[in-house]
Structure 1
Amino acid sequence: MAVSVHKNQTQSTRAWTLTANPHEIQRWRQAVAEALRRWGASREAIDLACLGVSELLSNVIKHVDDPRCRLRVRRVGERIVVQLIDRSPTPPSFEAPDWDSESGRGLWMLREMCAQFGWEKVPSQLGAKCVWFSCALTNKVER
């Protein structure tokens, strides 16, 4: 387990360099949840962020040859932004899933649940990309 917490963290940013591993996804969900709790996030926002962390890390494990990545969560005003930088240039697939398949729905569902969702190439790291999503800090589920 290779992990480093970046020393330049602020009260509004938490970031970790890690090696994606299926046995440690819960650990990263808890780390993100703790950061969001400190920022006063709603239960719904924390749950959505944790779901997203699981999905993004699972995709690194499943689709990226090099599991080293960087997870970052930021508070930007009244929004939460979760970013995962991996070492693959391959864009994520956001197509409507095959509902009869055992997998392949996670990113599509996350995109539908978040206020914003996207990806971009990371110019400073050849062959890297950042997949990100955001939601309101006090995201409430409409009933």
Structure 2
Amino acid sequence: MTDWPYHTDLPLAAMADAPYWARRHIEDILPKWGAGSLVMNAQLVATELVTNGVKHSGGSMELPNVVTTGGRAVPAKSVFPKKGEGVSVRLSLSYGEGRLLIEVWDKSETPPAEQLPDFVSESGRGLFVVSAFCEKWGWYLAEGGGKVVWAEVAA
């Protein structure tokens, strides 16, 4: 399918909370498109793709240490990149005819590599999970640099 009647782009800072904001965006937009039944699978697939995008863009998936100051929990140090040093990923969603296309751009041109997960590794399951919850997935080099990893979810 090349014509998608619904489309949205969401730029995300390549930080540990990027998957959270991707999930919130999906939760908000898909019901408005009449695709509410796809929310849970789309959130799972997008979480894996965005997490990989953050890692491959040089971002960090580590949450900052938190200290309590005046009864409020605050990061022990700034979690925001300095001006001009920020890296990002971009989530794009396209929907039509009962199909949702999830695309995540990151600055790396390294191809994604699906691994067979084992029981002891803490990582390496992302694309295995993606392939289990979508019809098909793939990737391509993006114009201007980086790559796009995509997955298609059917209703």
TM-score of the two chains, using structure 2 as the length reference: 0.72
List alignment gaps of at least 5 residues for structure 2: 60-86
Within 2, Cα distance between the matches of 1:89 and 1:112?
A: 24
Query: In the TM superposition, what is the alpha-carbon distance from 1:42 to its structure 2 partner?
Result: 4.1
- Check whether the contact 1:69–1:87 (CA below 8 A) recurs between aligned residues: yes
Q: CA deviation at 1:34?
A: 1.5
Q: Are the aligned partners of 2:100 and 2:152 in contact in 1 as well (CA < 8 Å)?
A: yes
Distance 2:89 2:9 in 1: 11
Q: How many residues align?
A: 125
Is 1:33–1:49's contact at 8 Å kept on the other side of the alignment?
no
Counterpart CA distance in 2 for 1:31 and 1:70 is: 12
1:116 is aligned to 136
CA distance in 2, matches of 1:63, 1:86: 7
1:12-32 per-position Cα deviation (integer Å, ceiling 9, x unaligned): 001122212212422221111
Matched with 1:107 is: 127
Q: Contact 1:13/1:72 (CA < 8 Å) preserved in 2? A: yes
3-state SS of paired residue (2:124): coil
- Deviation of the 1:11 alpha carbon: 6.2
The two structures, once aligned, show a CA RMSD in angstroms of: 1.9
1-structure distance, mates of 2:10, 2:130? 22
Which stretch shows the higher mean deviation, 86-95 or 97-106? Answer: 97-106
Q: Distance in 2 between matches of 1:24 and 1:83?
A: 14
State the 1:97 CA deviation: 2.0
Matches within 5 A, 1:1-143: 12-43=6-37, 45-65=38-58, 67-122=87-142, 124-126=143-145, 128-136=146-154, 138=155
Deviation for aligned residue 1:84? 0.5
SS in 1 for 2:17: helix
Displacement after TM superposition at 1:103 (Å): 1.5
Question: Residues 91-114 of structure 1: CA distance to partner in whole angstroms, max 9, x if unpaired?
Answer: 111121233212211211111221
| Percent of matched pairs sharing the same residue | 30
Which structure has the larger Rg? Answer: 2
Give CA-to-partner distance per residue, 1:77-126, whole Å, 9 cap, x none. 2200010011000011112123321221121111122111111111x213
| Partner AA of 2:147 in structure 1 | K
